[in-house]
Amino acid sequence: MPKQQLKKHTMEKGTQEPKKRAPRGKKEIITITGMRDILPQDQKYWQAAINSTHKIAADYGYGLIETPILEYTDLYVKSTGKGTDIVEKEMFAFMDQGGDHISVRPEGTPGVVRAYIQHGMINLPQPVKMYYIGPMFRHEKPQNGRYRQFFQSGFEAIGEAGPTLDAQLILMGYNIINDLGIDAVVQVNSIGCTVCREEYKKALLKYYKQHSKALCENCLTRMAKNPMRLLDCKEPSCEAIKENAPQILDYLDDECKKHFMKVLEYLDELNLPYALNPRIVRGLDYYNRTVFEYWAAEDLEGKTALGGGGRFDGLVEVMGGREKTPACGFSLGLDRVVSKIRESEVLMEEIYQPDIFLAQLGESAKKKALVLYEKLRKDFKMSQAFYKDSLKAQLEQANKLKVKYTLILGQKEVSDGTIMLRDMNGAVQEVIDFNKIEAELAKRLEKYSGDEGVAVIDTEETKAAMSSKKKHDYGDRVVEETNDFQDFGGGASFGGDDAAGDAPASGDY
Ligand code: AMP
């Protein structure tokens, strides 16, 4: 394998995509166009979106399903639809070593429906309610909020036709977004059943034919292949034509109309912010009746919808399952949801935030600390830098991590059977019996949570210790002089270990 040089990339604020730079002599490997890394410091946003998905799934009784990322290409041709952009232009499709036509999944619904049929879930109590979270792949033109690898969380309920299910699914997607502090408006429409849609398509084509000269090239193709998608066009030249196009709601038959009215009635009852939007048609072949999208409140044209879904009553049958198996579902684009969370600047809990740092000085202390850490990590949120010998560097790291307490184990403590406990807020430290450290930590952390983070332990020893120490201001907290080794209970024996003080490690998040 040729030796490649990997370079550090400049990051744009708020994204994880490396800016492309002209190579300077050395070959560099960077991410594929439209694909990006999600770095540790961004995980808190992603975890929030994922946790919100899991919470709603549990609240409404949906079970997690994981389907393969690779499926037979036919799955998507049959379900998503031959004439759709996804299947026609965007799938990463290839022939594998065995000559099979394979595609990297562009969306989640077909895999879930295949699984429903393949595993005989028709025999379970209906509806079968499943959800997924994972990456999807589409070879689209990368732009703001549009990637070639993106993440979706999706919910599918198979085997129920009633409008309560539609309303509840709409509500669930809204709740996931809303619980994350994002202001969203649901856009709702009904595209009827195949019968009423045929009538509508005729009327739509008749209207568009009168305006064909002014249409964009894409719309001319849509007229031939997928007329419903004409209403999806965002080209300014087509917008005006779209304005006066016939509306599907006028073509719904009685059953479809009744179903849709019930959905809206439930949404009203739930006080859900929704807008009736006759332009929402969703691009895929399998949708019928209720269709919906989630738009951020400020995204008035739905240019970057946060998610969408609808009913797909015919899909199970098309894919070889039992006739007339109704279904409904939606998916959310997590990249866009995460970007909204980030914009909202809501304070996110740091997922790697430790409470306690365990520092050590001297070889025997290091060995004892290694063992102690194994005990403490089970009950406390811990951090350490055992690879560092400098106490100063360890304390600087503890300070950077904003831990509540630092435990310090030096040679003196090892021989005395004690350990130093330093309260990082008040910069107070005291000597604790080594065997009582777990109980002490538990007690103090409890006090912390009940006392808005202030836990100054004012014993005679610490008062005395404090009065003899120099202090450093580290921004939001004061830390005592750390190169006065006696402060850490180790006496002169610590000196050799605490040399110049290497820089705190940057790998801790
Ligand atoms: P769809 O499967 O096309 O109905 O998309 C559902 C949601 O997934 C959209 O509303 C977007 O939030 C998200 N999404 C779809 N395609 C992309 C993409 N290429 N990049 C990022 N998010 C996407």
Q: Distance from the CA of 337 to the center of ligand 1, in angstroms?
A: 11
By the 8 A CB rule, do 233 and 242 touch?
yes
Contact indicator for 313, 201 with CB cutoff of 8 Å: no
User: Residue 497 pLDDT > 80, yes or no?
Assistant: no
- Ligand 1 centroid to residue 175 C-alpha, Å: 18
CA-307 nearest atom, ligand 1: 10
Question: What pLDDT is attached to residue 9?
Answer: 36
Please give the mean pLDDT across all residues of the chain: 85
Side-chain half-sphere CA neighbours of 25 within 13 A: 0
Instruction: List beta partners, residue 146.
Output: 143
* Cis-peptide, bond into residue 127, ω within 30° of zero: yes
- Supply the residue whose CA is at minimum distance from atom 18 of ligand 1: 146
Cα 121 to middle of ligand 1, angstroms? 27
Q: 3-state SS string over 430-499?
A: EEEEHHHHHHHHHHHHHHHHHCCCCCCCCCHHHHHHHHCCCEEECCCCEEECCCCHHHHCCHHHHCCCCC
Predicted confidence (pLDDT) per residue in 80-105, tens digit: 988 888 999 999 999 999 999 999 99
| pLDDT higher than threshold 70 for residue 2 | no
pLDDT for 175 beyond 50: yes
For 253-304, where are the alpha helices, taking DSSP H only? Answer: 254-269
* pLDDT tens profile 180-230: 999 999 999 999 999 998 999 999 999 999 998 888 988 988 888 888 888
Instruction: For residue 350, name the pLDDT band (cuts at 50, 70, 90).
Output: confident
CA gyration radius for the chain? 30
Close Cβ partners of 428 (under 8 Å, ≥ 6 residues apart): 422, 456, 457, 458, 462, 465, 466
The confidence score (pLDDT) of residue 218 equals: 85
pLDDT at 3: 37
- Give residue 372's pLDDT: 98
pLDDT in tens, 27-58: 899 999 999 999 998 999 999 999 999 999 99
CA–centroid distance, 260 to ligand 1, in Å, is: 25
Q: Which residue CA neighbors atom 13 of ligand 1 most closely?
A: 333
Ligand 1 site, CB within 6 A? 107, 138, 140, 145-147, 150, 152, 305-308, 331, 333, 335-336
Q: Which atom of ligand 1 is nearest to the CA of 309?
A: 4
- Token match 């249409």: residue? 215
Band of pLDDT at residue 25, cut at 50, 70 and 90: low
3-state secondary structure of 276: strand
Q: pLDDT value at position 471?
A: 40
Compute, in angstroms, the gap from residue 345 CA to the centroid of ligand 1. 23
Which of 160, 166, 129 shows the shortest CA–CA distance to 267? 166
What confidence tier does 333 reach under pLDDT thresholds 50, 70, 90?
very high
Q: Give pLDDT, residue 227.
A: 87
38: phi then psi, degrees, rounded to nearest 5: -110, 110
Model confidence at 7: pLDDT above 50? no
Q: Distance of alpha carbon 59 from its chain centroid, rounded? A: 19
Task: Evaluate if residue 487 carries a pLDDT over 70.
Answer: no
* CA atoms of 13 and 248, how far apart (whole Å): 43
Sign of CA dihedral 23, 27, 31, 34: positive
Q: Distance (Å, rounded) from C-alpha 115 to C-alpha 152? A: 18
Mean pLDDT lowest among 310-314, 391-395, 453-457: 453-457
d(CA 141, CA 139): 7
Burial of 347 (0-12, 13-18, 19+ CB in 10 A): exposed
Poorest-confidence range of 64-73, 317-326, 491-500? 491-500
- Mention every residue, 6+ apart, whose C-beta is less than 8 A from residue 37: 16, 31
The sign of the CA dihedral 147, 149, 153, 157 is positive
Give pTM, 2 decimals. Answer: 0.81
Of ligand 1's listed atoms, the one at least distance from the Cα of 282 is: 4
Pocket perturbation via mutation, ligand 1, pick of 331, 332, 341 by most ligand atoms within 8 A of CB: 331
Give the range among 202-211, 291-300, 499-508 with minimum mean pLDDT.
499-508
The ligand 1 atom at the shortest distance from the C-alpha of residue 140 is 19
Query: Is 479's pLDDT higher than 70?
Result: no
Ligand 1 atom closest to the Cα of residue 109 is 2
DSSP assignment, residue 350?
P
Q: Would the pLDDT of 452 be above 70?
A: no
What does the pLDDT read at residue 491?
A: 29
The single-letter code of the amino acid at 330 is F
Closest protein CA for atom 12 of ligand 1: 333
Instruction: Tell me: pLDDT of 76 over 60.
Output: yes
Using the atom order of ligand 1, give the atom closest to the CA of residue 306.
Answer: 12
- Res 176: pLDDT: 98
Cα(208) to ligand 1 centroid in Å equals 27
Instruction: Compute the C-alpha angle 486/490/495, nearest 5°.
Output: 80
Atom 8 of ligand 1, residue of closest alpha carbon: 333
pLDDT at 458 over 90: no
pLDDT at 34: 96
Pocket test for ligand 1, best of 80, 136, 170 (most atoms within 8 A of CB): 136
Residue 78, pLDDT > 60, answer: yes
- What pLDDT, on a 0 to 100 scale, did the predictor assign at position 55? 97
Alpha-carbon gap, residue 421 to 135, rounded angstroms: 45
CA of 307 from ligand 1 middle (Å) equals 6
Tokens 């989630």 -> residue = 294
More confident residue, 33 or 451: 33
Give the C-alpha distances (Å, rounded to integers) separating 480 from 186, 418, 464, 500.
55, 20, 13, 17
